Structures are given as structure tokens and as C-alpha cells.
Amino acid sequence: MRKGLVIAGLLVVLFAGVLGTTGCTRVLLEDVEGPSGVETKNASIPLDGAERLDARITMPVGEFTLTGGGTGAMDAVFTHSRDWVPRTEYSVESSTGVLRVDQPAVSERIPFGQKANQWDIRLASAIPVDLNVELGAGQSEIDLRDVDVDKLDVLTGVGETTIDLSGARTHDVTARIEAGLGQLTVRVPRGIGVRLTSISDGIGDFSAEGLHRDGSDYVNDAYATSTTKMEITLHRGIGEVRVVSVP
């Protein structure tokens, strides 16, 4: 399953998001003047009464940054080649904001040559978030210190990825991370209980700083007594994987 994609490497740029949501509203992106052949578009999506957020983001190739601090469901700046226009849809269903972001034009072909593709996304900080991110090839930073994430599912591709799960947490967090080809760093909080279930079928270096072995898993010192838990399942791919405990 996942192994075939890892070995194939650059085939991850063929990933396409599945938009099965009914009643979605296509979000019009605001044009911002940029260099020749490159467009910059802004997207600002209000919560529209949503009390939680279900976000699925698929980026086939490029530079990806995701943080908290959005004024609504999402604030974003997309800088891309003119034929690589992102697609953003949002709806509210039973008090849940359903956000879908992908880029179908890129997924239809393997990109060669000089192309620009940079996404800077800020999600809501004030409501719980279920987040699914699929990445292709490039450099990615997912900083969730200011995102009230409940459930996280990340599939990395080819390149370098940092996922920051540190910061204050007031409820349990469940995360599933599948590493592709390259370098992955996962930052976890030292102050709450963290359990890491590592599926050690990958190739390359692996370290879990600030965690110790507990049977086949890794836990931090706070796990035994903390009322708030973070459960992480990690599937390794090819390359270096580092898990680091931070304050």
C-alpha cells in the first residue's frame, strides 16, 4: 500500500484530493499582482457559525506552510504558476466547517521545469480541528502549536517535513503520520503524556529524543500521570525520522 508510493518517490505528486462534500461553496480567490507567469491569490474563509473544523488539504508539489491564527476557518496566500490554480471549497454541515483545498491541475501531470508553488495557510485557533494533510514533493512545515487539533492524519511525500505538535493541549490528541522519502521531524510536548507507536518498517535513521521504550512503544516521563494524552502512530518510510520532546 504505502510502500509502493514510497519506493516510487516522485509519484506522490500524482495525489489528488477527493471532494465528496455536498453543498460546498467554491471560494473565489483574490488576485494579487505578482511576477510574470506567477500569480498570488488570497483566500479568507469565515467560520459561518461552525463550532469545529474538518480540514483536508492536498498539496502535490511545492513549499507548504500551515499554522494557526486564522481569523476564520482559513486565511491563505497561494503563490503559483498560472496554470496551477488551487481549488478551495467550504461548507458548514451540522455545525462542522468542512474545508477542502487541493490543486487538480498539478495532479494531472508530473511537473518538470521551473514552476512556482507556495502555500501559506493559517487555520482557525478558536475551535477544535480534525486535520488531514497529504503532501507530494517539496519542503513543508506544519506548525500546530496554535491549532486546537483533535485528530491529525499526515501523509508526507518526497522532501523535508516538520510537524510541531508542542504547545498547550487541553484534551487528548490522536495523530497518524506516514513518512515518505526524505527527512521528517516531529516535535512533541514534554508537559503532557505522549505515546509513540513506531512502525519500524522504514529505511534510515530513527530517534526519539525525550522518550523511552515501553515495550514496543515509546513514552515520555509525563505519560504515566498526565490526564491529557497524545497518541501518535508513526509509519516510517525512507530517510531520517526524528521525534523531539520540547517544553
Q: Does 71 map to a domain?
A: yes
pLDDT digits (tens, 9 = 90+) for 183-192: 999 999 999 9
Q: What is the pLDDT of residue 79?
A: 96
Q: Does 220 map to a domain?
A: no
pLDDT digits (tens, 9 = 90+) for 103-144: 987 755 545 555 789 999 999 999 999 999 999 999 999 999
Q: What is the pLDDT of residue 4?
A: 42
Q: Does 204 map to a domain?
A: no
Q: Does 131 map to a domain?
A: yes
Q: What is the pLDDT of residue 200?
A: 66
pLDDT digits (tens, 9 = 90+) for 52-104: 999 999 999 999 999 999 999 999 999 999 889 999 999 999 999 999 999 98
Q: What is the pLDDT of residue 115?
A: 75
- Looking at the 3D structure of the chain, how many domains does it have? 1
Classify each residue of 137-171 as buried b or exposed e, where b means 16 or more C-beta atoms within 10 Å of its C-beta: bbbbbbbbbbbbbbebbbbbbbbebbbbbbbebee
CA Rg value for the chain:
18
Q: At residue 236, does pLDDT exceed 50?
A: yes
Q: Does 135 map to a domain?
A: yes
| Cβ 149 vs Cβ 126: under 8 Å | no
Q: At residue 3, does pLDDT exceed 60?
A: no
Q: Does 8 map to a domain?
A: no
Euclidean distance between CA atoms 119 and 54, whole angstroms: 19
Q: What is the pLDDT of residue 201?
A: 72
Q: Does 123 map to a domain?
A: yes
Burial of 103 (0-12, 13-18, 19+ CB in 10 A): buried
Q: What is the pLDDT of residue 2?
A: 45
Q: Does 227 map to a domain?
A: no
pLDDT digits (tens, 9 = 90+) for 8-58: 343 333 333 333 333 566 655 554 444 567 999 999 999 999 999 999 999
Q: What is the pLDDT of residue 83?
A: 85
Write phi, then psi, for 186 (nearest 5 degrees).
Answer: -120, 120
Write phi, then psi, for 103 (nearest 5 degrees).
Answer: -145, 80
- 118: containing domain: 23-149
pLDDT digits (tens, 9 = 90+) for 194-233: 999 987 678 999 999 999 999 999 999 999 999 999 999 9
Q: At residue 7, does pLDDT exceed 60?
A: no
